[in-house]
């Protein structure tokens, strides 16, 4: 065999606080270590949203927890330090993986880790992993007829601008995030701290149907933020680009607000329309972003979403029980003759199912319990 390619995404590592939903450090580091033992070269692609910089707090010099919307490289570096601390085992495993120069590690950039555009962030990650020139950052991975990217570019409201990943405001460089990302930072991190567990539950419409209070709260919250973004912020903060509202997306946001539509729209159909040429040149396509398992095979081409590595649950409509999602990765063997053999591999985790009613009563207790079941040690909260 020439090479093995492993693709997984949406790990969303944060600072280990209430806004961090990644707790599967044991399972993920075990998987990475299993790759270290392989004799052949391995390309490991962490396919976007590897880090959740968006919901990761920044601790000021005075020790205060904040969620700033003006994200200079120093702010990003501060957050990265917290993420390294909270998820040491994952970075230790990645370091072991990258210690063999036959292996290569790719971070594709997603909407939650836009900060990876900063050269200083790339440098710190390479330093932490003691890279031997085999750690890469970019928007896509395309080799051996395999194409992987996060997928936010086919989602109108989360689309980023790679040519202008940052802007200058008051003489300093800050990340140029999509409007939704600024809304998450300023409008929703507080709500996430209040309801840290509810946000891990899918499908969202079913969640709202059994928890009217959460629906009302989110609805009121979003409406307020939306109205301010259109009628107030652009005037109050006229010179500040983080407050500019994309007029072209007004109808889209309005529609979503009216329908309480919080799921991410599928990216596959938009990709197919926009990238016809690219599709002809590759055989296997892997995306993230939507946090749903998806598989489509047709005429020798396959499109795969391996789902998320966040701690997420499916609410069972009949029993009202929360079923923990499995984790998945895409494994592709590149044979000596260039032939590709792919599979979508599930990774089982030992987890309990809980009654939704119990969880909703005491979200923080169940956040702690979930962490305990996966041997993850949260930061004091």
Which parts of this chain interact with Mn ion (CB under 5 A)? 49, 110-111, 289
Q: Specify the residue, 55 or 126, whose C-beta has the smaller distance to Mn ion.
A: 55
Do 108 and 47 contact (CB within 8 A), yes or no?
yes
Write down the least CB distance from residue 61 to Mn ion, Å.
Answer: 31
Q: Specify the residue, 50 or 222, whose C-beta has the smaller distance to Mn ion.
A: 50
Q: Specify the residue, 96 or 312, whose C-beta has the smaller distance to Mn ion.
A: 312
Write down the least CB distance from residue 139 to Mn ion, Å.
Answer: 13
Write down the least CB distance from residue 184 to Mn ion, Å.
Answer: 11
Q: Specify the residue, 20 or 49, whose C-beta has the smaller distance to Mn ion.
A: 49
CA–CA separation, 11 vs 46, rounded Å?
8
The two tokens of residue 133 are 């020139």
CA–CA separation, 31 vs 326, rounded Å?
14
Write down the least CB distance from residue 110 to Mn ion, Å.
Answer: 4
Q: Specify the residue, 4 or 311, whose C-beta has the smaller distance to Mn ion.
A: 311
Number of alpha helices (DSSP H) and beta strands (DSSP E) in the chain: 14, 19
Write down the least CB distance from residue 311 to Mn ion, Å.
Answer: 16
By beta carbon distance, the residue nearest Mn ion is 289
Q: Specify the residue, 97 or 154, whose C-beta has the smaller distance to Mn ion.
A: 154
CA–CA separation, 70 vs 199, rounded Å?
25
Instruction: Please give, one letter per residue, the 3-state secondary structure of 99-167.
Output: HCCCCEEEEECCCCCHHHHCHHHHHHHHHHCCCCCCEEEECEEEECCEEEECCHHHCCCCCCCHHHCEE
Write down the least CB distance from residue 181 to Mn ion, Å.
Answer: 10
CA–CA separation, 168 vs 354, rounded Å?
48
Q: Specify the residue, 131 or 158, whose C-beta has the smaller distance to Mn ion.
A: 158
Nearest residue to 297 via CA among 307, 289, 308, 286 = 286
Q: Specify the residue, 289 or 328, whose C-beta has the smaller distance to Mn ion.
A: 289
Write down the least CB distance from residue 271 to Mn ion, Å.
Answer: 14
Q: Specify the residue, 12 or 25, whose C-beta has the smaller distance to Mn ion.
A: 12
Write down the least CB distance from residue 109 to Mn ion, Å.
Answer: 10
Contacts of 240 (CB under 8 A, 6+ apart): 169
CA–CA separation, 323 vs 326, rounded Å?
9
Do 22 and 83 contact (CB within 8 A), yes or no?
no
The two tokens of residue 271 are 């990709």
Write down the least CB distance from residue 9 to Mn ion, Å.
Answer: 8
Write down the least CB distance from residue 17 to Mn ion, Å.
Answer: 20
User: Taking every pair of C-alpha atoms in the chain, what is the biggest distance, in angstroms?
Assistant: 62
The two tokens of residue 57 are 């707090």
| H or E segment and range at residue 343 | strand 340-347
Buried b (16+ CB within 10 A) or exposed e, 111-147: bbbbbbbbeebbebbbebbebeebbbbebbbebbebb
CA–CA separation, 293 vs 242, rounded Å?
33
Q: Specify the residue, 16 or 110, whose C-beta has the smaller distance to Mn ion.
A: 110
């Amino acid at each position: 065999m020439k090479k093995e390619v492993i693709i997984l995404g949406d790990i969303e590592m944060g600072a280990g606080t209430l806004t961090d939903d990644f707790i599967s450090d044991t399972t993920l580091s075990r998987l990475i270590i299993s790759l270290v033992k392989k004799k052949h070269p391995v390309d490991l692609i962490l396919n976007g949203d590897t880090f959740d910089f968006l919901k990761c707090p920044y601790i000021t010099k005075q020790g205060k927890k904040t969620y700033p919307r003006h994200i200079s490289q120093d702010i990003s570096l501060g957050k990265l330090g917290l993420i390294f601390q909270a998820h040491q085992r994952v970075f230790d495993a990645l370091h072991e993986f990258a210690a063999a120069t036959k292996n290569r590690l790719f971070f594709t950039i997603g909407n939650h880790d836009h900060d990876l555009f900063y050269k200083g962030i790339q440098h710190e990650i390479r330093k932490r992993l003691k890279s031997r020139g085999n750690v890469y950052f970019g928007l896509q991975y395309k080799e051996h007829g395999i194409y992987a990217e996060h997928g936010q570019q086919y989602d109108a409201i989360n689309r980023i601008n790679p040519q202008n990943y940052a802007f200058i405001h008051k003489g300093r460089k800050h990340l140029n995030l999509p409007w939704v990302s600024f809304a998450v930072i300023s409008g929703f991190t507080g709500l996430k701290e209040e309801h840290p567990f509810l946000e891990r539950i899918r499908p969202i419409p079913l969640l709202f149907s059994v928890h009217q209070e959460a629906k009302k709260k989110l609805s009121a919250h979003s409406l307020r933020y939306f109205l301010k973004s259109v009628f107030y912020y652009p005037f109050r903060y006229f010179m500040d680009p983080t407050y500019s509202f994309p007029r072209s997306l007004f109808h889209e946001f309005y529609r979503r607000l009216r329908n309480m539509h919080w799921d991410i729209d599928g990216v596959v159909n938009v990709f197919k329309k926009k990238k016809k040429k690219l599709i002809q040149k590759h055989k296997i396509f892997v995306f993230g972003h939507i946090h749903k398992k998806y598989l489509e095979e047709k005429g020798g081409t396959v499109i795969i979403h391996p789902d998320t590595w966040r701690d997420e649950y499916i609410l069972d409509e009949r029993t009202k029980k929360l079923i923990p999602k499995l984790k998945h990765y895409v494994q592709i063997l590149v044979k000596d003759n260039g032939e590709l053999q792919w599979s979508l591999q599930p990774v089982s985790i030992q987890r309990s199912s809980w009654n939704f009613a119990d969880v909703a009563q005491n979200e923080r207790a169940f956040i702690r319990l979930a962490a305990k079941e996966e041997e993850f040690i949260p930061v004091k909260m």
